[in-house]
């Protein structure tokens, strides 16, 4: 990968956010309570995803990434499934546009590489597809609906990152 994944984000990266942000990786047992809060806020409350669809059997077998603000509050999260699928990437509204999502994605990509995957894939909400394209993802297929939201399948081969 061309870019190092920061374990903390610089003050310049977090315009408008106090202090230094910290990235953690771990299991659902380690990070699930805090990740659940971020995901509930973003997916269930903001995007009206049914609560019954938001948590699933893959949480317990996935690697999770969590970004914490200077006060230790979770502001972003994502997960890597054992098959190399990235999902549930969510950043709280006040922290968007500050590099938090990119930090999460680069950590998940690095974890996938460390696990021996040669590519990763994800189901992107269409409004976020350009964000993923900037990270080396390419659209593969047509737009489809998931939980009432337009999505597109995307893939990133590590030779392209």
Contact 92, 42 (CB under 8 A): yes
pLDDT of residue 13 exceeding 80: no
pLDDT of residue 9 exceeding 50: no
Domain encompassing residue 13: 8-117
Q: Could you count the other beta carbons within 10 Å of the beta carbon of residue 129? A: 17
pLDDT of residue 7: 43
- H helical segments located in 10-90: 28-39, 51-54
pLDDT of residue 20: 80
Domain count for the chain, please give it.
Answer: 1
Taking CA atoms, 127 is separated from 26, 96, 151, in Å, by 28, 14, 8
Contact 152, 143 (CB under 8 A): yes
Q: Is residue 136 part of a domain?
A: no
| Torsion sign, CA atoms 76, 127, 86, 145 | positive
pLDDT of residue 52: 86
pLDDT digits (tens, 9 = 90+) for 42-57: 999 999 998 888 889 9
pLDDT of residue 18 exceeding 50: no
Q: Which residues contact 44 (CB under 8 A, 6 or more apart)?
A: 50, 51, 54
Nearest partner of 131 among 107, 154, 157, judged by Cα:
154
Q: Is residue 77 part of a domain?
A: yes
61 DSSP assignment: G
pLDDT of residue 41 exceeding 70: yes
Give me 106's structure tokens: 């680069």
Q: Is residue 140 part of a domain?
A: no
Q: Is residue 126 part of a domain?
A: no
pLDDT digits (tens, 9 = 90+) for 111-137: 999 999 999 999 999 999 999 999 999
Q: Is residue 76 part of a domain?
A: yes
Partners of residue 77 on adjacent β-strands: 66, 90
Q: How confident is the model at residue 109 (pLDDT cuts 50, 70, 90)?
A: very high
CATH of residue 65: 3.40.630.30
pLDDT of residue 118: 95
pLDDT of residue 145: 92
Q: Which residue has the higher pLDDT, 6 or 160?
A: 160
Q: Which residue has the higher pLDDT, 2 or 33?
A: 33
pLDDT of residue 2: 30
142 DSSP assignment: -
Q: What is the C-alpha to C-alpha distance for residues 96 and 50, in angstroms, rounded to an integer?
A: 23
Q: Is residue 38 part of a domain?
A: yes
pLDDT of residue 19 exceeding 90: no
> Alpha-carbon Rg of the chain, whole angstroms?
15
Q: Is residue 28 part of a domain?
A: yes
Residue-averaged pLDDT of the chain: 87
Q: How large is the average pLDDT for residues 82-103?
A: 94
Q: Is residue 91 part of a domain?
A: yes
């Amino acid at each position: 990968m061309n870019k190092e994944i920061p374990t903390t984000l610089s003050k310049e990266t977090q315009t408008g956010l106090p202090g230094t942000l910290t990235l953690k990786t771990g299991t659902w047992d380690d990070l699930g309570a805090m990740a659940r809060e971020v995901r509930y806020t973003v997916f269930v409350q903001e995007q009206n995803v049914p609560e019954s669809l938001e948590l699933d059997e893959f949480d317990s077998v996935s690697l999770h990434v969590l970004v914490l603000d200077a006060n230790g509050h979770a502001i972003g999260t994502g997960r890597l499934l054992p098959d190399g699928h990235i999902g549930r990437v969510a950043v709280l509204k006040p922290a968007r546009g500050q590099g938090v999502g990119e930090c999460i994605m680069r950590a998940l990509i690095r974890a996938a590489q460390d696990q021996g995957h040669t590519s990763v894939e994800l189901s992107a909400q269409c409004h976020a597809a350009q964000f993923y394209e900037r990270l080396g993802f390419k659209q593969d297929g047509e737009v489809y609906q998931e939980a009432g939201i337009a999505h597109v399948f995307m893939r990133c081969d590590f030779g392209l990152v």
